[in-house]
């Protein structure tokens, strides 16, 4: 029986960073759901489908098989058996993913593929609706959050380290807007699953959050 850990939470809470760290420590597979949406977008582009051709998107997604494997400790994304990892960060792929990910049928298809992965292997999966929609029976569900101010400070630090100037108040306002959109969208809105454990990382380091989630996992196995 595979073991599944679901980590949900708002943008900027550190879900991906923590999920990757937990997966590495436990030797689980980290399922990068965002990369799967990009792989689907690449599949649609290869079918010469334009961002406005929604019916064609829905039809074309049916013959896409997307999975994640690890080679030498690095995540590789397979599209119909081909390693497409190197193509996923292209701008046109990101633009298509932004449009196609809003299509209900494409979301349904990717949820099916994510569940197949989780049934086969021990996984850590993060997102906005993993514990509520994708893996409702996950062994451990975490709702990872931090205050909007803390998340804005973290984002500012990231930008400044790259030499990009930022205005903290503007970033915090953007985060609050995004939280509102995520929590009020029609399909799979962001919310804490009833059986999820709340972890507020506002005053915690990455190492402390990782340790807490691993502790909760080990406690659940007793």
Annotated binding-site residue? 10: yes
Annotated binding-site residue? 188: no
pLDDT of 83-94, one tens digit each?
A: 999 999 888 998
Edge-to-edge strands of the sheet including 29-31? 29-31, 123-127, 4-8, 140-145, 197-200
Annotated binding-site residue? 16: yes
| Whole-structure pTM value | 0.85
Residues β-bridged to residue 123: 4, 29
Annotated binding-site residue? 210: no
DSSP state of 28: P
Domains of the chain: 1-28+124-221 (3.40.50.300), 31-121 (3.40.50.300)
The CA distance from 142 to 197, in Å, is: 5
Contact 215, 26 (CB under 8 A): no
The predicted pLDDT at position 11 comes to 84
pLDDT of 8-54, one tens digit each?
A: 999 889 998 999 999 999 999 999 888 999 999 999 999 999 988 98
Annotated binding-site residue? 17: yes
Instruction: Check residues 32 and 197 and name the one with the higher pLDDT.
Output: 197
Annotated binding-site residue? 220: no
Annotated binding-site residue? 94: no
Annotated binding-site residue? 14: yes
Both tokens assigned to 176: 């609050």
Annotated binding-site residue? 34: no
């Amino acid at each position: 029986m595979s073991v599944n850990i679901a980590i949900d939470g708002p943008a900027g809470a550190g879900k991906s960073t923590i999920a990757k760290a937990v997966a590495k420590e436990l030797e689980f597979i980290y399922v990068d759901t965002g990369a799967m949406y990009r792989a689907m977008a690449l599949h649609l582009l290869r079918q010469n489908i334009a961002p406005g051709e929604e019916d064609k998107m829905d039809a074309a997604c049916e013959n896409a098989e997307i999975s994640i494997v690890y080679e030498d400790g690095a995540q590789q994304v397979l599209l119909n058996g081909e390693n497409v990892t190197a193509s996923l960060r292209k701008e046109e792929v990101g633009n298509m993913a932004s449009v196609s990910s809003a299509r209900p049928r494409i979301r349904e298809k990717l949820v099916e593929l994510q569940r197949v992965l989780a049934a086969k292997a021990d996984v850590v999966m993060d997102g906005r609706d993993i514990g509520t929609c994708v893996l409702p029976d996950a062994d451990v569900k975490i709702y990872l959050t931090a205050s909007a101010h803390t998340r804005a400070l973290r984002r500012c630090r990231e930008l400044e380290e790259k030499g990009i100037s930022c205005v903290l108040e503007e970033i915090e306002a953007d985060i609050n807007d995004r939280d509102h959109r995520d929590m009020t969208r029609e399909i799979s809105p962001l919310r804490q699953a009833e059986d999820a454990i709340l972890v507020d990382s506002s005053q915690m380091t990455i190492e402390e959050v990782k340790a807490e989630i691993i502790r909760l996992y080990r406690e659940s196995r007793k």
